[in-house]
Amino acid sequence: MLVVGGGFAGVLAALAARAPGVSVCLLEPSNVLGGQGTAGGVAGFCGDSVRVNRPFAELVRRLERHGLIEPYRPNEDRRAYDLEWCAFFLQEMVVDAGIEVLLHSRVVAVRAAEGVVRAVTVATAGGLVEFAPRQVIDASGACVVAALAAFPFLHEGANRQLPMSLYFTLWDTGRKVTPVLPEGCPRWERDDQIPMTSLHCFPSGKVEVKMKVVGFDAADGRSRSAAEIFARRQMHGLIHYLQTTGYRGRRLDTHVLAAVSRGIGIREERRIVGEHILTEAEARRGVRFADAVAVNTYHIDYHWPDRAQRAGTGITDMLDPHHLPLRMMIPRGARNLLVPGRGASGDQMAMSAYRVMAVVAQMGFAAGLAARQAVERGVDLTALDVPALQAAIVAGGQSLDLSDYGDYLRADLGGDEPVPGALPAALSLRQTRHATFEVGWRQGDGRGCVHRIERCWVPAPAAPENVPPVAGETVRLDDGTPLRVTVAGGTLRAEFEGPGATWTPGSSLAVADPAVAPVAVATRVGLAVVYGDPAGGVRLWHGAPERLRGPLPPPAAVRLDAPPLEVHGTEGDSAALPAAAGRA
């Protein structure tokens, strides 16, 4: 087995593929494993980082043991960690698994015929080496093997790709520094002139800076090289601005440059044309697939590709968790090549969501198990036993049931919508597999049932026996908190049980018919309630506990478009930089 690319998709693929009788070689052009999460400077997990798989959980456990990662907070977009330690732990996990690692190595030629990759030539520090692998996993992000093997791919190019970013670190010296603006570096006077910038400030005095870089093609050699040169000039202009004028009026005049990422951060290079192309429409409706091998938990994150300034991040619409199928990782016509990660087959908007590390770790893990099955059974990818693959994925700690996801940025999920059917005398509700809802009702001798599947209501094959619960029945949320739902004065209310078994006054959810008993169930997002609409009919309310307790955090689109200036501590939520914190 040959795994090309040592980012999170590649590392998890290698760990999943390795088994007695299956040798694995992992290639990485940088000097560390982790890809964008280490060499690229992206020191934070996005997406659900507690329900990935067992190897990923082991990495998080090692970071947690030494206080090197922040707690998982469901309504925060980024979970910061120490990237150098992350690189070390990934290295040790891979070496301990008996995987051969070749750093400073790049694929330079591929020989393929009839959909089969026959040989891969690699430039190493010691010269050229040719591999003849049974299975290949291209986790390069640039689809380098797929492109050299002449499989079809998509390449947006400069000013159409999701833009690059340069990550660098400043440290607080504790005393005023002398700003330096080298010749040829830009000078700015106002925040609306500087490139899109995010600052993450830590108690140690460290400030991690993300700076947007536009106008280059990450998949073109000359353009990528020019982007690195341009970005460092832009970086020195930005540092001078932060030291003298200050971001949002707060100067970092005691901070100096301490480190720059090994390579510029990449969001997009190429994408294969796979056996299935995941579309934005599928992602938006929370699609389910029979050959699902991973789950995306991140939102659409489309950065304007041709504008350096912030002016809104772009499109940051929240998505329900949705499936990622095996077919999107198989180049069209390929028999022994898989492409997990940002190079997988999807349109640009869908890719903007599934490209983040916690998600590609799931994709890589699934690709590794698929390739391993092909090697062990002596078959190619067209003959995989998909149910057996899915069972192996689940056995590896990676759930494919969408009902197990939904608390990541959960305050932005949910809603209140009509349910098809007449106003009933009695209701029932349950959440079924893949985060679908089943609503039943009884009206006289008549019964009915509908399912909510991929945001659409469809009639159920048969109406269940409905035994309506007592109004105000108590349910327990995922965190164990007791909650009851009642209708009082024509208002649907949710009440939490507090100390001493007392109940809160309650939060108003909606106007409701007091003649119909509401029914509630706990979900991963929080709570789902069906209730009678005074105008006739039935409605479903679904949302997070934060919607019940209030006040709500700003929606993701507002939170991500606003200039992030965050302070990270060991306890509590990240907060805006205090007004007095001129030195972060």
Cis link prior to 553 (omega < 30° from 0)? no
Residue 573: predicted pLDDT: 36
pTM for the structure as a whole: 0.93
Task: Spell out the alpha helix ranges (H) of 203-356.
Answer: 221-244, 280-284, 348-354
- Residue 248 zone, left/alpha/beta (φ > 0; ψ -120 to 50; rest): left
HSE-CB for 92 with a 13 A CA cutoff: 10
B/e letters for 195-232, b = 16+ CB within 10 Å, e = fewer, are: bbbbbbbbeebbbbbbbbbbbbbbbeeeebeebeebbb
In angstroms, the CA 8 to CA 20 distance is 23
Structure tokens that stand for 223 in this block: 């353009």
Residue 258's closest CA among 173, 198, 317, 329? Answer: 173
In angstroms, the CA 205 to CA 198 distance is 16
E strands within 228-325?
255-260, 271-272, 292-296, 302-303, 314-315, 322-325
Query: Which residue is listed with tokens 């190897």?
Result: 55
In angstroms, the CA 543 to CA 524 distance is 10
The one-letter amino acid code at 22 reads V
In angstroms, the CA 346 to CA 515 distance is 48
Residue 537: predicted pLDDT: 87
DSSP string, 214-231: -S--TTSHHHHHHHHHHH
Residue 76: predicted pLDDT: 87
User: CB under 8 Å to 126, separation ≥6 — which residues?
Assistant: none
What's the distance, Cα to Cα, between the start and end of the chain in Å? Answer: 47
Q: Read off φ and ψ for residue 134, nearest 5 degrees.
A: -75, -40
Residue 560: predicted pLDDT: 59
In angstroms, the CA 154 to CA 156 distance is 7
Across the chain, which has 584 residues, the per-10-residue mean pLDDT values are 98 98 97 97 96 98 97 91 97 98 98 98 97 98 98 97 97 96 96 92 92 97 98 98 92 96 97 98 97 97 91 86 98 98 98 98 98 97 98 98 95 91 78 92 77 91 53 80 89 85 81 91 93 90 84 64 58 34 30
DSSP designation for 135: S
In angstroms, the CA 285 to CA 154 distance is 24
At 85, which helix (H) or strand (E)?
helix 83-96
Tell me the C-alpha to C-alpha distance, in Å, between residue 256 and each of 172, 252, 337: 7, 9, 45
139: exposed, middle or buried (Cβ count in 10 Å: 0-12, 13-18, 19+): buried
**Local structure of 538: helix, strand or coil:** strand
Sheet containing 255-260: give its strands across. 255-260, 164-172, 206-213, 197-201, 565-567, 575-576
Instruction: Kindly report the three-state secondary structure assignment for every residue of 342-404.
Output: HHCCECHHHHHHHCCHHHHHHHHHHHHHHHHHHHHHCCCHHHCCHHHHHHHHHHCCCCCCHHH
DSSP string, 31-83: SSSBGGGTTT---EE-S-SSSS-HHHHHHHHHHHHTT-BPPP-TT-S-EEB-H
Residue 460: predicted pLDDT: 81
At 556, which helix (H) or strand (E)?
helix 556-561
Domains and CATH numbers, the chain: 2-155+274-303+310-409 (3.50.50.60), 164-266+557-576 (no CATH), 414-543 (no CATH)
**Local structure of 433: helix, strand or coil:** helix
86: exposed, middle or buried (Cβ count in 10 Å: 0-12, 13-18, 19+): buried
Question: Is residue 525 a contact partner of residue 542, using CB atoms and an 8 Å limit?
Answer: yes
Q: Which residues pair with 81 in a beta bridge?
A: 69
Average pLDDT, the chain: 91
HSE-CB for 553 with a 13 A CA cutoff: 22
Query: Which residue is listed with tokens 């389910």?
Result: 288
Structure tokens that stand for 125 in this block: 């520090």
Residue 570: predicted pLDDT: 40
Residue 19: predicted pLDDT: 96
In angstroms, the CA 162 to CA 296 distance is 19
**Local structure of 530: helix, strand or coil:** strand
Question: Is residue 324 a contact partner of residue 293, using CB atoms and an 8 Å limit?
Answer: yes
Q: Read off φ and ψ for residue 193, nearest 5 degrees.
A: -100, -25
